[in-house]
Amino acid sequence: MPARILRHEYEVLLDMNSVPLPTAPGSSIQAVLWSGNCLRLLDQRLLPETEQWLECWNAADVAQAIHDMVVRGAPAIGIAAGYGVALAALAGEPLEPAIAQLAAARPTAVNLGWSLARMQRRAQAGADAAALVVEAQLIHAEDVAMNQRMGELGATLIKPGSTVLTHCNTGALATGGHGTALGVIRTAWRQHRIASIYHTETRPWLQGARLTAWELKKDGLPACMIVDSAVAHLMHVRGVDWVVVGADRIAANGDTANKIGTYQMAVAARAHGARFMVVAPTSTFDRACPDGGHIPIEERSAQELTHFKGLALAPEGTHAYNPVFDVTPATLINAIVCERGVVENPDTAKISALFESTP
Ligand code: MRU
């Protein structure tokens, strides 16, 4: 991973007073932009109808935007939080409360805590506000580079002519650019390995229907949407070679938290002989978390199930349970693709080896 090179490039770019991030080949989409003194976020609650940007001027704005899912997707949340710390520093706010507020915005994606810990270490080492802005930009730029690397690594696992199925949105909108699982699909598509792309609609927030479909259409990749409950049927009647998903937190043993519904896709994949790939950068691994049972699972409002855009979908008073992530056991995962390498049939020893053998 060319972190050192990127740092160097960034120092040069900053000297030149121009800091455009490298755009990811294969996708022109960027949802997180640093504009010098504020953070601009493409409001993902409004897509696909409206492309509207929200400006964040302090850490509290960023924490609110993460909580409200203006920005979502584990890596994008981490990137936004990094800029949140930089905004706090620029405003002369004390950093510890700002970091605590950002950390509390959403519980499952460990990229949030990873990014905040990195910003905190830089601050403790004496970085001033300008240096913290650079650190946040590095987190951002490195994420794009990691996605491109994972795209290449993951694509090699996909044989030409394959049918792939993905869940939620793991593309440029969910990351610094290119995407994790969708990055693999983008790269594999460019390499003519993919015959058909399916994606779920991803109830209840519709990340698949609203965001993945929007991204794929914008980038000219043909795809076909299914309802979440059609996954096993699709595998049975049309066949799926690879399920390719992202992750919000990967425990030390490879158990993986991702968007609700991922677990049942892995069960269905095993039952139908489809292979199951998780794509996530180093920032998504939580090696202090021994297994999936220790991953905090976010529950959101019952209203997300009972209502849509203010319209009641269920009788008043209907009780609803709305966990928004689930845990897929490592035993159902054929491969975890990280920018450091590919771990097949993951377990604690293989994941330790991945982290110990590479920088
Ligand atoms: O609730 P969300 O939209 O933030 O959930 C996103 C996911 O579950 C993604 O699959 C995951 O964050 C990986 S994004 C590269």
pLDDT recorded at residue 8: 33
> Active-site residue among 43, 143, 241, 248?
248
pLDDT recorded at residue 14: 37
Atom of ligand 1 nearest to the CA of 259: 8
User: pLDDT tens, 304-356?
Assistant: 999 999 999 999 999 999 999 999 999 999 999 999 999 999 999 999 999 99
Cross-strand partners of 216: none
pLDDT recorded at residue 2: 32
Confirm if 186 and 221 have CB atoms less than 8 A apart: yes
DSSP string for 178-191: S-SHHHHHHHHHHT
Please choose from 258, 262, 338 the residue to mutate so as to test ligand 1's pocket, defined by most ligand atoms within 8 A of CB: 258
- Biggest CA-to-CA distance, the chain: 60
Please give the Cα distance from 284 to 343 (Å, whole number). 14
Atom of ligand 1 nearest to the CA of 77: 4
- What are the pLDDT tens digits along the chain (359 aa)? 333 333 333 333 333 233 334 444 556 799 999 999 999 999 999 999 999 999 999 999 999 999 999 999 999 999 999 999 999 999 999 999 999 999 999 999 999 999 999 999 999 999 999 999 999 999 999 999 999 999 999 999 999 999 999 999 999 999 999 999 999 999 999 999 999 999 999 999 999 999 999 999 999 999 999 999 999 999 999 999 999 999 999 999 999 999 999 999 999 999 999 999 999 999 999 999 999 999 999 999 999 999 999 999 999 999 999 999 999 999 999 999 999 999 999 999 999 999 997 56
User: pLDDT tens, 231-268?
Assistant: 999 999 999 999 999 999 999 999 999 999 999 999 99
- CATH 1.20.120.420 residue ranges for the chain: 7-146
Comparing CA positions, the residue from 102, 108, 186 lying closest to residue 144 is 186
Q: Which residues contact 13 (CB under 8 A, 6 or more apart)?
A: 19, 20
Please give the Cα distance from 119 to 96 (Å, whole number). 11
- CATH 3.40.50.10470 residue ranges for the chain: 149-357
Comparing CA positions, the residue from 208, 311, 186 lying closest to residue 259 is 208
3-state secondary structure of 337: strand
pLDDT recorded at residue 16: 29
pLDDT recorded at residue 19: 37
Please give the Cα distance from 59 to 98 (Å, whole number). 6
Task: Classify domain 7-146 at the CATH topology level.
Answer: Four Helix Bundle (Hemerythrin (Met), subunit A) (1.20.120)
> Ligand 1 centre and the CA of 297: distance in Å?
13
Atom of ligand 1 nearest to the CA of 75: 15
Please give the Cα distance from 149 to 341 (Å, whole number). 9
pLDDT recorded at residue 26: 52
Please give the Cα distance from 145 to 128 (Å, whole number). 26
Residue with CA nearest ligand 1 atom 8: 259
Compute the Cα dihedral for 187, 191, 194, 197 and give only its sign: positive
Compute the Cα dihedral for 341, 288, 248, 293 and give only its sign: positive
User: Catalytic residue at 61?
Assistant: no
The answer as to CATH 3.10.450.50 being correct for domain 149-357 is no
